[in-house]
Amino acid sequence: MNTSLTPNAAIEAAVSSEVELDYAASCELPTPWATFRLHAFVEPATGKEHVAITLGDVADGEPVLARIHSECLTGDGLFSLRCDCGPQLEAALQKIAEEGRGALFYLRQEGRGIGLVNKIRAYQLQDAGADTVEANEALGFKPDQRNYKLCQPMLRHLQISTLRLMTNNPRKIKAMEQLGVKVVERVPLVITRNPFNERYLTTKAAKLGHLF
Ligand SMILES: [Zn+2]
């Protein structure tokens, strides 16, 4: 962090590095819990496609119950017990459905930003004894490469400025505040431990500051 930056310069730097996303289309998304709206966005710089899932009127100015979820094919779609992504995604959509209002931002930054193949390489190292942070570092990546700025154009498009954020990760709250998005409440997500995710969850708490 460059401490010589004045607050205004820091804000300018954050704005100038803003991620550009183009809104593409919206449709209905029926699920076991509610029929949501699914909104598609394209990142022109990378061609990556991201989605936001909303329920109810999120543009009325009231704080929005929200989840920022980064893609995890193994956890979200393949039932992996190595991480807590699938249960967190499901719990967040259920909570939004229970309240009848909220938003979930599904960011296509697989494996904390390193991509699917590299995540599987990291899992291979973990099978041989490394923890999740050590494995990423052994592959030459930072422990967490995710960029939450992707949310900014989606939030703007959906006219959301204040969140009740469902997260166990204080970095996400900090990232939102740096983007000028107010987080009025942290809503914890309670996750079930199993023999396969025990070490992963412990490492996330110890090395990445997650709160469980
Ligand atoms: Zn995962």
Q: What is the pLDDT of residue 212?
A: 67
The residue-averaged pLDDT of 179-203 equals: 85
Q: What is the pLDDT of residue 199?
A: 80
Q: What is the pLDDT of residue 96?
A: 98
Q: What is the pLDDT of residue 197?
A: 79
Q: Is 146 part of the annotated catalytic residue set?
A: yes
**Distance from the alpha carbon of residue 175 to the mean position of ligand 1, in angstroms:** 20
**Distance from the alpha carbon of residue 85 to the mean position of ligand 1, in angstroms:** 4
- Residue 165 in contact with residue 131, Cβ under 8 Å? no
pLDDT at 64 over 50: yes
The residue-averaged pLDDT of 173-202 equals: 86
**Distance from the alpha carbon of residue 74 to the mean position of ligand 1, in angstroms:** 6
Give the model's confidence band at 193: pLDDT under 50 very low, under 70 low, under 90 confident, else very high. confident
Answer with the residue of higher pLDDT: 5 or 59: 59
Question: Which pTM value belongs to this model?
Answer: 0.85
The residue-averaged pLDDT of 21-26 equals: 97
The residue-averaged pLDDT of 21-39 equals: 97
pLDDT at 56 over 80: yes
pLDDT at 140 over 50: yes
Q: What is the mean pLDDT of the chain?
A: 88
SS (H, E, C) the chain: CCCCCCHHHHHHHHHHCCCCCEEEEEEEEECCCCEEEEEEEECCCCCCEEEEEEECCCCCCCCEEEEEEECCHHHHHCCCCCCCHHHHHHHHHHHHHHHCCEEEEEECCCHHHCCHHHHHHHHHHHHCCCCHHHHHHHCCCCCCCCCHHHHHHHHHHCCCCEEEEECCCHHHHHHHHHCCCEEEEEECCCCCCCCCCHHHHHHHHHHHCCCC
Catalytic residue among 146, 164, 171, 186: 146
The residue-averaged pLDDT of 94-117 equals: 94
